[in-house]
Amino acid sequence: MKVAIFASGNGTNYEVLAEHFQKGDLPGELALLFCDHPDAPVIKRAEKFQTPVVTFTVKSCGGKQKYEEKILQVLKDYQIDFIALAGYMRVIGPTILNEYEGRIVNLHPAYLPAYPGLHSIERAFADHPNETGVTVHYIDSGLDSGPAIAQKHVPIYDDDTVESLEARIHECEHHLYPEALKKALLKFEEENN
């Protein structure tokens, strides 16, 4: 079972997952990192783990349709079975979704259905409820609306800043994502053996 991670930025969640794959805590093989920003820090992290990297932008492909078709070809070339999104800041369109339905999971920095989409941490902080959270879920055609695999609450304290809240959310992500991904991968493996 070959797994691809999609990321757009810094790559801390990529690194946590890569460590778990390296230790054998996650089933399958981390076979690819796809990044839509050729200069993103996650690429350096991938080099450290010797994960093959493919990177190109929507603009370089001449639009979203061609971009997704090119990604799909890369996924076929690498014989990818399963995709884990780790800070991938683009919506997955039907070209990829139709081929990989039920085989794409996402990490979202909120307790869905609250705060779907971008800037979830900032929006939760501005509203100042008692808590927000982290969700790992399957991708569907909606925005952060696929079935949840795992969720965990993260408290919001009176003296929090956006940065302190973000740090606690990232810490929660780094524990929750490997557990939830393992559950999803084992389920996929079981259904396809």
55 is in an annotated binding site: no
Distance CA 43, CA 41 (A): 5
108, 88, 92: which is closest to 100 by C-alpha? 92
d(CA 169, CA 162): 10
User: Which of 152, 157, 154 lies closest to 178 in space, CA to CA?
Assistant: 152
The answer to whether 132 is a known ligand-binding residue is no
Catalytic residue (one of 20, 37, 108, 174):
108
- Judged on CB neighbours under 10 Å (0-12, 13-18, 19+), 189 is middle
Residues 6+ apart with CB under 8 A from 40: 7, 8, 9, 10, 11, 55
Which residue, chain included where needed, has tokens 């408290």?
155
Q: Is position 11 annotated in a ligand binding site?
A: yes
Is residue 13 annotated as involved in ligand binding? yes
- In three-state secondary structure terms, 175 is helix
Find tokens 């959310």 and name the residue: 169
Active site (annotated) includes residue 153:
no
The secondary structure of residue 108, as a DSSP letter, is: E
Which residues line the annotated binding site? Answer: 11-13, 64, 106
Which residues line the annotated binding site for (6R)-10-formyltetrahydrofolate? Answer: 64, 106
Catalytic residues: 108
